[in-house]
Amino acid sequence: MFFFKRDKPSEALELFGNVATIGMQLVVATFIGLAIGYYLDEWLGTKPWMLIIFLLLGIVTGFRDVYREAMRLQRGADAQSSGPACGPGRDDARGGSDRQGK
Amino acid sequence: MSAGLPHPLTYSVILDESLGLHLPPHVYYMWLAMIILFTCGFILRGRLQLVPGGLQNVFETIFGGLEDFVVLNIGEEGRKVFPFLGAMFIFILVMNYIGLIPGCDAATANVNTNAAMAITVFVYYNYIGIKKWGFGYIKHFMGPVVFLAPLMLVLELVSHIARPLSLTLRLFGNIRGEEIVLVLLFVLAPVLGTIPMYFLFILGKTIQAFIFFMLTMIYLKGSLEHAH
């Protein structure tokens, strides 16, 4: 098979996959925040406030997701350059990347 | 490759007229993908061999590679969720490739198919998380700091609702775009123009199926691992 070299997905496939996921999250999270704010406004009758608050929260979420994704890719690149030590046991590196979003 | 144009000349229109069911085209092409996969499955199940050859070799390469990839990323727990992931990958792959056959349309070039699959993924990874952690699954939404927990809860909620939407739109946009480009090039330069694009789009469609699979795997990993 063309896309599976030596019984694993080829590097190009993985690379394209990783890169293509980043941009969408920013936009979609913003719109989800907007939609939640809009419908909360309709429900609660607080006309502009929920919309503004949730739009800002959506934008923050989008940037945080992109940041988290970039950190994940960076860790993958680090693990690849430092040797084949990547694997299931590396979850502890996650904790540091979640202090953003304030 | 009719790209959802108003009057597509696809096999599904002819089939629909003869059956009189009034179903949209993507339903027929999804059934076609299911028929292809079920047929392959039943053929292969009947003659599994220790030394694979032909069709079995192809499927073993794909699924062996994907399973190694999942186990490398999630860990041994990944073997439990791999059937879902692998089925998702091969299903989307076959539906994408059907769009390349002249007179057929990719089922994934319609939002409804993708939304159905994305919502399935959403429900599935939350189900796996709740099954594993019970009520403690909510810690995944809380973040590491206690006094920021209410804020993080809202942020994570937005982030989690955004996931199925982004899965849907990414797959839909890419596949529909490729179909439209194929049709336009076919109008401009009937056969010569489309042949080179086929190679690009085989790559593109494989990548899209793989992205869907990989993101599902990342979400499942997030719900299976410890809350930070």
Q: Where do the domains of chain A lie?
A: 22-71
Q: pLDDT band for position A48 (50/70/90)?
A: confident
Residue B2 resides in a domain: no
- pLDDT 10s digits, B92-132: 999 999 988 887 888 898 899 999 999 999 999 999 999 98
* A7/B207 Cβ within 8 A: no
**Lowest-confidence region among A37-41, A58-62, B42-46:** B42-46
B178-207 mean pLDDT = 86
Residue A3 has a pLDDT of 64
Q: Is B64 on the interface with A (CB under 8 A)?
A: yes
| Of B224, B57, B34, residue with least CA distance to B127 | B224
* Alpha carbon distance A17, B204 (integer Å): 10
What confidence tier does A8 reach under pLDDT thresholds 50, 70, 90? low
Q: CA torsion angle for B82, B85, B87, B89 (degrees, to 10)?
A: -130
Q: Residue A4: what are its φ and ψ, rounded to 5°? A: -125, 100
Instruction: Quickly count: other Cβ atoms within 10 Å of residue B134's Cβ.
Output: 9
- Counting one residue from A and one from B, how many pairs have CB atoms under 8 Å apart? 102
Phi, psi angle pair for A5, to nearest 5°: -100, 135
Number of compact structural domains in chain B: 1
Look at residue B91 in the predicted model and tell me its pLDDT: 94
| Strongest mean pLDDT among A17-26, B34-43, B59-68, B144-153 | B34-43
pLDDT band of residue B135 (cuts 50, 70, 90) is confident
Q: What is the pLDDT of residue A93?
A: 42
d(CA B45, CA A80): 38
B113: enclosing H helix or E strand: helix B111-133
Q: How much is the pLDDT for A100?
A: 39
ipTM of the prediction greater than 0.90, yes or no: no
**B54: contact with A, CB 8 A cutoff:** no
Is B101 contained in some domain? Answer: yes
Contact A88 B143 (CB under 8 A): no
- Helices H, strands E: what count in chain A? 2, 2
Residue B1 inside a domain? The answer is: no
The reply to whether residue B71 touches residue A88, judged by beta carbons under 8 angstroms, is yes
- Say if CB A16 and CB B77 are below 8 A apart: no
Q: Centre a 10 Å sphere on the Cβ of residue A93 and count the other Cβ atoms it contains.
A: 12
Q: What is the pLDDT of residue B16?
A: 80
Q: Give the residue among B48, B43, B83, B81 at the shortest CA–CA distance from B63.
A: B83
The predicted structure's pLDDT at residue A99: 39
Q: Answer whether A57 sits within 8 Å of B162, measured CB to CB.
A: no
pLDDT digits (tens, 9 = 90+) for B137-161: 888 888 777 888 888 888 888 889 9
Tens of pLDDT along A80-95? Answer: 777 554 444 444 444 4
> Strand A8-9 relative to strand A4-5: parallel, antiparallel, unpaired?
antiparallel
- When pLDDT is averaged across residues B166-181 and rounded to a whole number, the result is 91
- Contact, A86 vs A80, CB < 8 A? yes
**Contact status, residue A1 vs residue B60, Cβ threshold 8 Å:** no
Owning domain of residue B130: 11-224
**What mean pLDDT do residues B36-60 have?**
84
- Would you say residue B180 lies in a domain? yes
Task: Please check whether residue B40 lies inside any domain of the structure.
Answer: yes
Q: Where on the phi/psi map is residue A10: left (φ > 0), alpha (ψ -120 to 50), or beta?
A: beta
Query: Does residue B116 form part of some domain?
Result: yes
pLDDT value, residue A34: 92
Is the pLDDT confidence value at B163 over 80?
A: yes
Q: Please tell me the least confidently modeled range out of A69-78, B93-102, B110-119, B162-171.
A: A69-78
Contact A17 B210 (CB under 8 A): yes
Reduce the DSSP state of residue B16 to 3 states and report it: helix
Q: Which residues contact B97 (CB under 8 A, 6 or more apart)?
A: B202, B205
Judged by a CB distance cut-off of 8 A, whether residue A29 touches chain B is: yes
Indicate if the pLDDT at residue A2 is higher than 50.
Answer: yes
Identify the pLDDT of residue B117: 93
Average of per-residue pLDDT values in chain A: 74
Burial B119-131 (b: 16+ CB within 10 A, else e): eebbebbeebbee
